[in-house]
Amino acid sequence: MSSIKGLYYGLIVLIFITACCQKSIDFVEIKHFPVDNMEGIIGGSGVFIDKEISSDGNGSLCITAIEPAAVRLYETGDIDIENAKLICQAKLRTEVVEGQVYMEMLCHFPGKGEFFSRPLQFALTGSNEWTSHEVPFFLKKGENPDNVKINIIIEGKGKVWIDDIRLIKAKLN
């Protein structure tokens, strides 16, 4: 009887390990932008690296907006992805923001143009400590963007920090 119990527990452990290993390939990091220097940042006015305030201790991008602005952060060029969920993850912090702040991801498709994703339901306003944000873009089979743009939209004024930006490829459910 104890050998059957051992076999049963061994089977449960095997199923658990298989499930864990399967999860690890459900997400693949495509690009990582640590945002600790201005390299690659397209930027605009009122944009600088803040070495004092950071989610990871290495610096962050600080944006001081005195009016509404769309701040262009990064472009990827062709990333060769289709039939997947493309997710842009980042950490955001705000100080005395009047209006809303949110991330935006734009995907350009050859012959079709540019399409955007904006998670407006998670827009920030006022003052907030570091929070994690995600912008998803669902790509069907044959939809392969030749460029991806990552932006911060500030519909008002205030101070915004962004740090630790990642592009993740995830399986479609």
pLDDT tens, position by position, 71-129: 999 999 999 899 999 999 999 999 999 999 999 999 999 999 999 999 999 999 999 99
* Domain 29-170 CATH assignment equals 3.40.50.980: no
Q: What is the pTM of this model?
A: 0.82
Which residue ranges make up each domain of the chain?
Answer: 29-170
- What span, in angstroms and rounded, lies between the C-alpha atoms of 53 and 150? 21
